[in-house]
């Protein structure tokens, strides 16, 4: 299927590793020019070079901490200078940390607010005027299954990602007439560094061997295994493509069937 992304200008936030990297790779495979971002310059440059060599498309690195207002401003100044327009924004950010509610500090909440909610608000606020000028746009927010079914150890994610879902749902109606389609995708148990870290913490907390914990979690997934970043990207990119012409304001969970909520 032609996703109509050839020569489109795409920005993928938090994309030097994991899900973000695979989404950037998928857009590059489809012939788009892609700006990728991350906090570690060496990792980011290496990723850009690898994706460009693999796909033959333009993949440009730009060091960005999405939790910082000034970094988002610098990034979009670069987007305007490099591309002039923006066809696709993938709003992504690393997950906020695991906290204990009673022992948490207010700084934990403010940091998660900046990382998860404000990063999306700032990026969309910069992207939408560019898309309006361009006469079209696609925005995809990478969330979590926690927006449908709270995950007990991920309190910060449960709260702030749900806020971004509400933002996307509201803006989707506001900008549909501008052909700016805004959707949300929520990964379940996708085999990334973050999932591996959570597995290690949960195995230690429950005093079981890591492999035993992983086997238990995978047994709870109807498909019976963790998903891969490649599988997630393949399912997600359609919504952020120009083959999608009528789906907006929707949430798609890519979770192997684990979430029972409608």
The CA distances from residue 142 to 101, 165, 240, in Å, are 25, 10, 11
DSSP string, 15-53: -SSHHHHHHHHHHHHTT-EEEEEES-HHHHHHHHHHHHH
Is residue 140 within 8 A of residue 240, CB to CB? The reply is yes
Question: Helix and strand tally (H, E) in the chain?
Answer: 9, 7
Q: Specify the pLDDT at position 212.
A: 87
CA–CA gap between residue 232 and residue 219 (Å, rounded): 19
The DSSP letter of residue 97 is P
Coil/strand/helix, residue 208: coil
Coil/strand/helix, residue 167: helix
**R_g over Cα of the chain:** 18
Q: Specify the pLDDT at position 153.
A: 79
Q: Specify the pLDDT at position 35.
A: 98
Q: What is the pLDDT along the chain (262 residues), one digit of tens a residue?
A: 899 999 999 999 999 999 999 999 999 999 999 999 999 999 999 999 999 999 999 999 999 999 999 999 999 999 999 999 999 999 999 889 889 999 999 999 999 999 999 999 999 999 999 999 999 999 999 999 999 999 887 999 999 999 999 999 999 999 999 999 999 999 999 998 888 888 898 888 889 999 989 999 999 999 999 999 999 999 999 999 999 999 999 999 999 999 988 8
List b or e across 1-38, with b for residues whose CB sees 16 or more CB atoms inside 10 angstroms. eebebeebbbbbbbbbbbbbbbbbbbbbbbbbbbbbbb
The DSSP letter of residue 221 is S
Q: Which domains does the chain have, with CATH numbers?
A: 9-189+228-254 (3.40.50.720)
């Amino acid at each position: 299927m032609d996703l109509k992304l050839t020569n489109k200008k795409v920005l993928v936030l938090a994309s030097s590793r994991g899900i973000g990297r695979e989404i950037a790779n998928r857009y590059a495979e489809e012939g788009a020019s892609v700006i990728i971002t991350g906090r570690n310059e060496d990792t980011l440059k290496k990723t850009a070079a690898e994706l460009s060599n693999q796909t033959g498309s333009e993949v440009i690195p730009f060091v960005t901490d999405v939790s910082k207002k000034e970094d988002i401003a610098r990034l979009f100044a670069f987007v305007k200078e490099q591309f002039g327009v923006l066809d696709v924004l993938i709003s992504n950010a690393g997950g906020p940390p695991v906290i204990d509610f009673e022992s948490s500090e207010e700084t934990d909440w403010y940091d998660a607010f900046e990382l998860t909610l404000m990063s999306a608000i700032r990026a969309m606020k910069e992207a939408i005027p560019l898309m309006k000028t361009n006469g079209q746009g696609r925005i995809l927010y990478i969330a979590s299954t926690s927006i449908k079914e709270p995950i007990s150890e991920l309190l910060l994610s449960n709260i702030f990602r749900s806020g971004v879902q509400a933002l996307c749902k509201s803006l989707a109606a506001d900008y549909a007439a501008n052909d700016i389609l805004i959707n949300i995708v929520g990964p379940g148990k996708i085999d990334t560094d973050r999932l591996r870290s959570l597995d290690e913490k949960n195995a230690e907390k429950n005093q079981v061997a890591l492999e035993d914990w992983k086997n238990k979690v995978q047994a709870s997934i109807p498909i019976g295994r963790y998903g891969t970043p490649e599988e997630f990207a393949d399912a997600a990119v359609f919504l952020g493509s120009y083959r999608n012409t009528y789906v907006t304001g929707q949430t798609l969970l890519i979770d192997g069937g684990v979430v029972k909520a409608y």
